[in-house]
Amino acid sequence: MKWVTCAVFVGLMSAAHSASAQDKLTVYSYRQAFLVEPILTRFTEDTGISVDVVFAKDGIAERLAREGRLSPADLVLTSDFSRLVELVDKDLTSPVNSSQLDSNIPEQYRDPEGQWYALTMRVRNLYTAKDRLGSQQLTYESLAEPKYKGKICTRSGKHPYNVALVASMIAHHGEAQAKTWLQGVKDNLARKPQGNDRGQIAAVKEGVCDIALGNSYYYGNTLQDPEQKTVAEAVVINFPNQADRGAHVNVSGMVLTRHAPNKANAIKLMEFLSADVAQKAYAEVNMEYPVKANVPPSPLVASWGEFKSDQLPIFKLAEYHQAAVKLLDEVQFDL
């Protein structure tokens, strides 16, 4: 496990305006440095509050539990919803009561008890081969139809993005029907689940499959990578279930830690991250969808067109998380 620590300071601030011992906070982040550092620098410029950031790919929950009351962490930034669930389930969070957060973040994208707040959204899209299928009016349910046998690619079913999708299927259809669907999808796979979301796009271009599951921002990242642009251009991005409930979305988010030593400053940062400046930065840098309603996506993301999202409250995914994992095991999805 590799930990990287970075202090975000404003170099041109005079000594007279430098942060006092109280004007600081510590963030543990699953989100990458390129995304959060510019936003945190802007926060320091605006408030005078310095931010120490510890970046990690995994293990933050374990570290918080080990540190206990002595933890310096005030806030955790997560890259997906499952990390939020883990932190809450392990009693490592503290509820926040903020009218500004409640105003900026729609009810659908925050915990009813204030234990977590979403920051960005991604759509679980379906990519189709441009030269073989073109644009399609697909649903997640249609992935189990026999006509798609041997035509579908996806990463591991146990990846948090796919677990969340299965949880949403349980929420909408019940466990028994979701299991039948999941078995049908497995039967239609062109290969054993593997790789990441970018790899699924590449598999469509290479002719391994005709349809692939993938988060929207991976498509945007691939389009902006000069070495991968032709891969992205070989597929069409489709928003599923537009004629009924809407496309499934998953989220990144933030929590106030249980033993936050700088609680007031942490809440200020949470409010800042939910407001226009930070929401716009998230949208532009990583091609995600802001959760704040009046902040538009980046021009590239907007070019994919408007879509209807599933209105299932995100916290419902947590209720069905364990059931989703159980179904994936029962159908041996990854084997």
**pLDDT < 50: residue spans in the chain:** 1-2, 7-21
- Domains of the chain as residue ranges with CATH: 3-120+250-297 (3.40.190.10), 122-248+309-330 (3.40.190.10)
* Segment 156-198, tens digit of pLDDT: 999 999 999 999 999 999 999 999 999 999 999 999 999 999 9
Give the model's pLDDT for residue 20.
45
**Cβ-Cβ contacts under 8 Å for 256 (sequence gap 6 or more):** 74, 75, 93, 94, 95, 96, 263, 266, 267, 270
* Segment 39-58, tens digit of pLDDT: 999 999 999 999 999 999 99
Give the model's pLDDT for residue 121.
94
Model-level pTM greater than 0.85?
Answer: yes
Write down the residue that tokens 């997560």 correspond to: 78
The SS3 call for residue 277 is helix
Nearest to 214 by CA among 184, 245, 183, 248: 248
Task: Measure Cα distances from 104 to 100, 119, 193, 267, 273 in Å.
Answer: 6, 10, 37, 14, 10
Give the model's pLDDT for residue 3.
52
Give the model's pLDDT for residue 4.
53
* Segment 263-286, tens digit of pLDDT: 999 999 999 999 999 999 988 888
Give the model's pLDDT for residue 286.
87
Q: Are strands 235-238 and 152-153 parallel, antiparallel or unpaired?
A: unpaired
Its sign, for the CA torsion 126, 130, 131, 136, is positive
